[in-house]
Amino acid sequence: MIHALDIAGMVCPNNVFLAPMAGYTNYPFRKMCTSLGAGLAFTEMVSAKGLHYGNEETKSLLYAEHEAPKAAQLFGNDPEIMREACESEALAPFDLIDINMGCPMPKITRNGEGSALLADMPLAEKVIAACVKSGKRISVKFRTGLDEAHKVTAEFARMCEGAGACMITVHGRTKDRIYAGPVDYEEIAAAKRAVDIPVVANGGIWNDKDLKKMFERTGADAFMVARAALYRPQVFCDLLGTEPPPILGLFLEELEETKRIYGEHFACVFLRKMAAFYIKGRPRGNHYKRQLFEAQTTEQVASLAREIFAETP
């Protein structure tokens, strides 16, 4: 179930991955998760058009240092602009580029991007094929369909492989379900039966029981963890059977790394948000959350963290 995974010659130390999550999977968070055992960690989704127009904020999402291997996620629906992005200097350091065809949020789908491409398979195929021409390893992350009446998982999986993708990730929910509702294991299994490239299963993995169920129901080659890592980054230790370190040390290191790279203000705001995740459901969580969001400096956030996580290891 847990093993190294070869993706077109790129070898991941294990097959439990950190999902790309907008607003969260910056370099310090990815670094923490890989240190805890994640076999591969993806950047936040990056706009191909943003790169095309030289947007500095877009470029900043691709900040990376010593990750190995490196994986970025790209979104867009213009084949040539997508290929240009794959060939750009900004994406040159990355070993794998994942195309987002699964994001269900209106600000993405109303532009015909993300999961909107599930409704235009010919265009989706052109996008993938154009990216493959860049010479980069290309994977695709998509959902099972637009809604229950329009599931396309197996067909879409075959299209991705035929267009040259070296891996697919299937989020086992339809676009209309956003992140709610049960995971459709059978649809992920259908994708696995349809292709010969590695299939990554995504959705509803919070603990080792969930992962085992996902493997038994789908036969997937790898597994992608998303929201569970926001609440408990040590979930990778849980899934891989290693001893999880205390959250305090992890948090303080993440705080310092974020400050070093992105500056004081961003680090303060971002780590207040992350601390709120880490304490959710713990004793006096709401009390500490209010205090966190009143903090104005990273020193205040760190001081609160020492108090909070001393009480809630």
Tell me the pLDDT tens digit for each residue of 236-295.
999 999 999 999 999 999 999 999 999 999 999 999 999 999 998 777 778 888 899 899
> With respect to CATH, is domain 247-311 assigned 1.10.260?
no
Question: Residue 77 pLDDT > 70, yes or no?
Answer: yes
Question: Average pLDDT of 178-196?
Answer: 94
| Residue 313 pLDDT grade (very low, low, confident, very high; cuts 50, 70, 90) | very low
- Asked if residue 197 lies in contact with residue 163, where contact means CB atoms within 8 angstroms, the answer is no
Listed range (95-109, 117-131, 270-284) with the worst mean pLDDT: 270-284
Task: Look at residues 249, 290, 245 and name the one whose alpha carbon lies nearest to residue 272.
Answer: 290
Question: Average pLDDT of 166-176?
Answer: 95
Domain ranges of the chain: 5-240, 247-311
Distance CA 251, CA 233 (A): 10
Question: Residue 312 pLDDT > 50, yes or no?
Answer: no
Query: The tokens of 21 are what?
Result: 């999550």
Distance CA 204, CA 181 (A): 9
pLDDT computed for residue 115 by the predictor? 95
Beta strands in 153-237 (DSSP E): 167-171, 199-202, 222-225
Task: Look at residues 163, 168, 155 and name the one whose alpha carbon lies nearest to residue 99.
Answer: 168
Question: Which residues belong to the active site?
Answer: 103
CATH code for the structural domain at 5-240: 3.20.20.70
